[in-house]
Amino acid sequence: MELVKRLCDTYGPSGREDNIRKIIESNIQKYCKKIEVDRLGNLIAHVRPKGVGKAKRGNGDKIMFCAHMDEIGLIITHIDKNGFLRFTNVGGIFPERILFERVIFENGTIGVIGVETKRETPKPAYLDNMFIDIGAKNKEEAQTMVRIGDIAAFYQQSVNINKRLSAKALDDRIGCYCLIETMKRIKSNKDDLYFVFSVQEEVGLRGARTGAYAIAPKYAIAVDVTITGDIPESPKMDVSIGKGVAIKVKDSAFIGHPLINDKLVSYARKMKIPYQLEILERGTTDAAIIQVVKEGALSGVLSIPTRYVHSTNEVCDFADVEATIKLLTCICEKGLE
């Protein structure tokens, strides 16, 4: 799992995915004949039909697989006279989950998130009450290190905890990892497979829109994380880490196509892949936009159960990751027709 650790630890907030894209491209080059980067920054890899008879080639469908490269971050809006940085969010930030955490900017500058100590500061504090301390003595020194508009990502190192992984940006570098590993395992496929590593999902599913528009797939599968209902006093949700890949039924902006979900469940049962069904009341994935681009795509979502999503220490189980890769590989080789 060294690759997924490298993916998670690397800087790559929304709109700044270049470093992630380079890592992914270097790991998939030998498994596809065509790789391109579109104008928005999506990395799109095309795996043509292989390992099947000539009669089956050219008669397959277009299947799009999508996982987003970007992570949440913080963008600098103001530098005060003492060199402290004020910021706002890039993507979904929970203020209570980021206090006193370290961040890193693209140029390597590191800072710590602090909070105002005045009596009227709300508890929990808002982002407006927070600042980033980069060790500058004043505004002039700070301006030599960071500029207005620079984006910080969280600075955290991935670690194994028993048979699980704790890391920042599992959302959705673990999905990217699943697509990379799937590409390595495909032995034969009759369909045209498009693996899209999308940009700017956290700020509005933007890369998935342009990627789907260019490909116009008949079928699409997004791969992302989902929250769980298995921690103390958590909301009731029948998804737990360690119990298999989650097949999404519905979220706040997406309803899985019943034909696709039936096929996914059928494959999981036949291959004895552990799975669970997911209903997510808040949040969505790239599939929500892919399914309505052009004339639409028959779409589904495979989710990796993950605790503490959008924090600096998200947690997933290696067994669920393996289950996801096995089901993806099955889809690639058998199709969704």
Catalytically annotated residues:
201
Pair of tokens at residue 217? 């797939």
Mean pLDDT for the stretch of residues 287-307: 97
Provide the β-strand partners of residue 89.
Answer: 74
**pLDDT above 60 (res 140):** yes
Cα 243 from Cα 259, distance rounded (Å): 23
On the 0-12 / 13-18 / 19+ scale of CB atoms within 10 A, 25 is middle
Closest CA to 18 of 131, 166, 151, 113: 151
**Location of structure tokens 């504090």:** 125
CA Rg value for the chain: 21
33 pLDDT tier (thresholds 50, 70, 90) = confident
- The Cα 129–Cα 117 span in angstroms is 9
For residue 55, the model assigns a pLDDT of 46
Residue 123 has a pLDDT of: 82
Structural domains of the chain ordered from first start: 2-71+168-334 (3.40.630.10), 73-154 (2.40.30.40)
pLDDT at 248 over 90: yes
pLDDT band at 56 (very low <50, low <70, confident <90, very high): low
Q: Enter the pTM of the model.
A: 0.95
Least confident of 22-36, 113-127, 290-304: 113-127
Q: Is 236 exposed, middle or buried (0-12, 13-18, 19+ CB in 10 A)?
A: exposed
CB 26 within 8 A of CB 181: no
Instruction: Give the model's pLDDT for residue 144.
Output: 97
Mean pLDDT rounded to a whole number for the chain? 95
- C-alpha span between 51 and 329 (Å, rounded): 14
**208-236 pLDDT per residue, tens:** 999 999 999 999 999 999 999 999 988 88
The model's confidence at residue 119, banded by pLDDT at 50, 70 and 90, is confident
